[in-house]
Amino acid sequence: MKLSAREAPKLWAAPPDIWAGVLIFGADAMRVALKRAEAVAALTGPDADTEMRLARLQGADVRRDPAALSDAVKAQGFFPGPRAVVLEEAGDGLADTVRAVLADWRAGDARLVVTAGQLRPASALRKLFEGHKAAHALALYDDPPGRDEVEAMLRAAGLARPDGPAMDDLMALALSLEPGDLRQTIEKLALYKLDDGLPPAPEEIAACAPASVEAALDEALHCAAEGRAGDLAPLVRRLGAQGVTPVALAIGAGRHFRQLHAASANPARGLAEVRNFRARDRMQRQLRQWTTPRLEQAMSVLLEADLALRSSSRAPAMALMERALIRVAMLGRTRQER
């Protein structure tokens, strides 16, 4: 059966007695590794490693010795408690071996947590788990973590959930950081807030955020809004090298220009929602070179790019975003040159 990332934590926290395990797969090895660790922790509880209730096998080892997987699943440990067997770097070559283990699985056996890279819909391993009544397949995509996932990371780190601008700042970080970097940032924030007990504030989140990624992303957005088309190419390449996805860049640019548009349409309110005073001052200067119709044109360009990124287009995604930002910058520069 198929399993969504939202449903997974509830299933792993209280799996049915006749539930054999899960296949976790995706193109991003870090996302797969984080989700695997989450599954193992939920299924086995604390001290599984030290109590020998957790076995780890590599796909290459099982290919050489197929019986090793069945032996690990059936083995009885010295300590009571739920057991799990992790099979890493599996592939279609192990589909028959895993099928035999699932067919022979009984309540009380160790549960299987199988990981793999990107698998096509026709993959034998993927079809095995998706069609099994007592196992699940969880596909991980390169979408940024949702609010539920960020809140789960906060709970795991022992942090109180923030509201308003602080939560918005965390979600902005989730758009620009890889999941592993986001988790590390939240763990660093937990140390920063040790013994505090209060939800993190925007300035505390800013103090713990990776400055290089955040600064580069902000600079690219300001660069587009200031009409500096010639400076965009190296900034976009730098963002790509730091792991910022084209979708995250599109979302950030859309948010930036929506804020400018709202301030242009309602000067009395201005940029009150922008909490960082340096960014607010810079955006206030940007507003002087934009009219409301021009901002609407810029938002249309960015929306078109965002839709193209989410379509089946084969165009290079980061190059598509670079072109869109340059078009936006040229729109802003047009008024400057009048």
H-type helices in 132-228, by residue range?
147-156, 164-176, 179-192, 202-208, 211-225
- pLDDT greater than 60 at residue 258: yes
The residue type found at 108 is G
Question: What is the rounded distance in angstroms from the CA atom of residue 24 to the CA atom of residue 33?
Answer: 9
Do 219 and 232 contact (CB within 8 A), yes or no? no
Please report where in the chains the tokens 């918005």 appear, as a residue. Answer: 168
Q: pLDDT-derived band of residue 176, with 50, 70 and 90 as boundaries?
A: low
Which residues are CB-contacts of 336 (< 8 A; sequence separation ≥ 6)?
227, 289
333 or 284, which is more confident? Answer: 284
Instruction: State the pLDDT at residue 327.
Output: 95
3-state secondary structure of 25: strand
Mean pLDDT of 217-245: 86
Do 6 and 148 contact (CB within 8 A), yes or no? yes
Question: What CATH number does domain 2-140 carry, 1.10.10.1100, 2.10.10.100, 3.40.50.10300, 3.40.50.300?
Answer: 3.40.50.300
Across 133-137, 286-290, 306-310, 312-316, least confident range: 312-316
Question: What is the rounded distance in angstroms from the CA atom of residue 328 to the CA atom of residue 312?
Answer: 23
Cα dihedral angle (130, 115, 154, 278), rounded to 10 degrees? -110
Instruction: State the pLDDT at residue 245.
Output: 86
- pLDDT greater than 50 at residue 122: yes
Q: What is the pLDDT of residues 22-63, one digit of tens each?
A: 999 998 888 899 899 999 999 999 889 889 999 999 999 999
The tokens describing 154, both together, are 């906060």
- Give ∠ CA 332-177-245 in degrees, rounded to 5: 55
The pLDDT mean for the chain works out to 88
Which residues are CB-contacts of 324 (< 8 A; sequence separation ≥ 6)?
250, 253, 301, 302, 304, 305
Question: What is the rounded distance in angstroms from the CA atom of residue 266 to the CA atom of residue 286?
Answer: 15
Mean pLDDT of 308-326: 87
- pLDDT greater than 90 at residue 100: yes
Instruction: State the pLDDT at residue 97.
Output: 97
Mean pLDDT of 168-174: 80
Do 15 and 43 contact (CB within 8 A), yes or no? yes
Mean pLDDT of 120-124: 95
Give the residue extent of every domain in the chain.
Answer: 2-140, 147-208, 211-336
- pLDDT greater than 50 at residue 338: no
CATH 1.20.272.10 fits 211-336, yes or no: yes
Which residue in 113, 95, 103 sits closest to 11, CA to CA?
113
